[in-house]
A and B are shown apart, each in its own frame.
Chain A
């Protein structure tokens, strides 16, 4: 339900509508005034006075409604003040302009005076209008179109949520994304700032934002869970809202004492909060994208055509991207000869699958030249340690699949410089579970999977429940 408005508040809300009238009318009047100096447009002259009159009167009404609105809304004070006085200036100048233009002032003025006045009015009008826009849409709205967006969502990379700082990594980014624009360094609606420990504990007009240990009594939480239509609900309707799990996390954080420097693992976690926390954890693959962010020139069409002829599937990783993925799923007969052709696409090729083909260690020399590769599948081929060591050059590699090859722990160790590796698949290779511990030390951030999973035979796997 909408809150009941007093009559002044009601009138105030007409301001955003009314202001457009003087802007249009006054600018029209000015343009007509200037045009009418040309003989061609002299016919406009009789209309100028009435246009300026409507503009001036509507400017006065805009000022009144604006004044009423300013008392009701919580706007940024300095901008508001400047907007207020600029608006009044527009009203005053436009009245003077009208009086001068219609010769209702008996003082003798130079003939160019109305024109000077019109320029001053146009400038004041633009500036007042811009300030008004800044008030409603926020700082940098106009320039945002070509400048860098400042409202980009902050998201911390959390490899292991238990090792994350509860405030710095979880709570603060949420507040920054959803609250700082009104309760931060640039604006303090309700005299509240939420951008540091002190500010949060001090609170604003209505007292402290949080009561450590008592989530249900904390203003920060209470305002979040009010109905969205409630006037007190935060963030205000229309602004990006907190998700349910974010609200739960804030509640949990306050209840657990609202620590600002503790790690997650130091806080009590019940079964309800655990999955929410785990959901914050970034999976390995988000650390580094598997397609480079910098654009690249298109690959030579001849090079692509040659590969396709050899049986390769060549597909861009995305529409409009020049980065390519290549696989030989349709034609397993390829050999080292065809892999030579890949080097022509070295700059563009990021994902390569040559699994199950007849390539040997010799092919690794060409593949080693594909330094932009992020994903490489070599499973079920005849490659050995000898070939694999060439791949040291592939510093961008995130994914390496050597399932079903003869590669040993020694062979993989030769790639220890490839610290971007996130997942390495070693099932049915010559690397076994015993090698894992040593290898994991060489690749601390990678998941090494030797596979060979088996499931125990349970009674239920082979029997059925019978009706009694």
Chain B
């Protein structure tokens, strides 16, 4: 027996003794009572078919606690093998980018009619605001004739690849709940995010990388915090793994000084044996999640630095994306997203902060800050689409771009005062997002808002519809993809959601 094995043995034995200390007379009495009761109940119910129904196996049967990240099949053959969700946190203005409203320009500076304000609540607008015409020049692009403004000149060249949803409506007008709703299907905390559902359903194709990776830029986490990529009630192994494009890709990924790879492996093995034993005692699946997370972490020490290194990309790729290795930027994250998808990661979630264009000062104004934000993402987003396309990946990767809500057709008047910069308030009623690749139609546009872009007049869709569509492209029926929790099956879209077949190819 080597010294290492001997140590492991000792540790395991120690853990065993430690656990035995927990078993008291009280446990014995409780376990015998409930144990016998449960046995009786079990034998009584085994005669009933309804307990062994199909739903049960679907609900929790997906979770193989010994190997939670094993690749799994979706419900039906998927059009999209991976998803890249580009979330512009803060909510970009649809009226300056995709939703062209010449009527609104004519009304610029006029007072907003009462009919649009009655019974409505805004985050900051008070009293009677003035209308604000679009601060952008629009053109129809490509064969599809989709409208894209001059703020995104690169993206305009690939308008035929995109499918626009122009009448998305949410019911949340503050960032945190709106982001939660967009990504977890609930404006309150506690639900799993889309990426967590995806990795729960599909596992990962690459056993050395997590199935769900999160990349942030813009110097700030989203308002809703890490819950927007949380696992909710799903086993915690399915939560998003946040990686950084600056410094170590994952904090503390390198071994501390004086600890070699072998020693690290030996200690993880020992810890896992102890954990195995506590699993045998407590039967808590979270312990198995912990074990596989340790193993994943060890593998990631090798694979993540490689996957997250963009230095090995050739110059023309850097030029295309506008990337600079070593800094934290949206462009770097786009390039990383492509690399991760190439390596089999199922769900890559990008957050880019800084789109909250209220117009209270130059740094959040439509005419300055917003234009600069557009510039900072335009090239990289377009490069990502083209790069995926030329590698044959776009047709199996669903790309989504959008914010958590839209912006008002009115100029913001915080505290009823006139502002010296152009700015728009949060607007839940109508906004635009686009999707591309992954079995989505090319060059389509669905939904329409009224002539001033205030509310949808046709083709209204909700965040649930978007989520249902994402799951559909990944091969899941959002109404049947459930997880048993607190005595009932839960699903991402709760009781809502419709697959937006109008944009599905």
Please report A residues at the B interface, Cβ cutoff 8 Å.
243-245, 271, 274-275, 278-279, 281-283, 285-286, 289-291, 313, 315-319, 321, 323, 327, 329-330, 377, 379, 399, 401, 403, 423, 425, 427, 449-455, 458, 460-461, 463-467
Contact = CB atoms under 8 A, between A and B. Distances in A.
A275 B76 CA distance: 29
21 contacts: A243-B502, A271-B140, A271-B145, A275-B445, A283-B439, A313-B205, A315-B73, A315-B205, A327-B205, A327-B344, A330-B208, A399-B392, A399-B395, A449-B390, A451-B389, A453-B320, A453-B386, A453-B387, A455-B386, A458-B379, A460-B375
A146 B207 CA distance: 45
B505 A282 contact: yes
B276 interface: no
A427 B390 contact: yes
A329 B367 contact: no
Contacts of B475: 318
Given A275-B444, A318-B75, A318-B77, A455 B395 contact: no
B392 A403 contact: yes
Interface string B390-425: 111001000000000000000000000000000000
A244 to B, nearest CB: 4
Given A281-B441, A315-B73, A423 B207 contact: no
A329 B344 contact: yes
B459 interface: yes
Nearest to B459: A244
Nearest to A458: B153
B73 A279 contact: no
Interface string B349-380: 00000000000001000011001100100110
B332 to A, nearest CB: 15
A465 B372 CA distance: 6
Contacts, number: 142
A79 to B, nearest CB: 34
Given A401-B391, A461-B378, 4 more contacts: A283-B439, A315-B72, A316-B73, A454-B320
A323 B74 CA distance: 12
B339 interface: no
B71 interface: yes
B343 A319 contact: no
A285 B206 contact: no
B486 to A, nearest CB: 25
Contact of B505 (A275, A286, A377, A466): A286
Contacts of A315: 71-73, 205
A318 B73 contact: yes
Which bracket fits the contact residues of B?
A: 35 or more
Given A271-B140, A453-B390, A465 B343 contact: no
Given A286-B505, A403-B390, A423-B392, A279 B71 contact: no
Interface of B: 71-79, 140, 143-146, 153-154, 157, 205-208, 316, 319-320, 322, 343-344, 362, 367-368, 371-372, 375, 378-379, 382-383, 386-387, 389-392, 395, 439, 441-446, 458-459, 475, 502-503, 505
Going nearest first, the 7 A-B pairs with the smallest beta carbon separation are: A451-B390, A425-B392, A283-B505, A467-B362, A275-B445, A329-B344, A244-B458
A461 B379 contact: yes
Contact of A318 (B74, B362, B390, B458): B74
A455 B205 contact: no
B391 A451 contact: yes
A327 B140 CA distance: 41
Contact of B206 (A317, A329, A425): A329
B92 to A, nearest CB: 16
Given A423-B395, A425-B392, A321 B383 contact: no
A289 B446 CA distance: 25
Contacts of A425: 390-392
B74 A319 contact: yes
Given A244-B458, A313-B205, A454-B316, A460 B77 contact: no
Nearest to B150: A460
Contact of A403 (B146, B368, B375, B391): B391
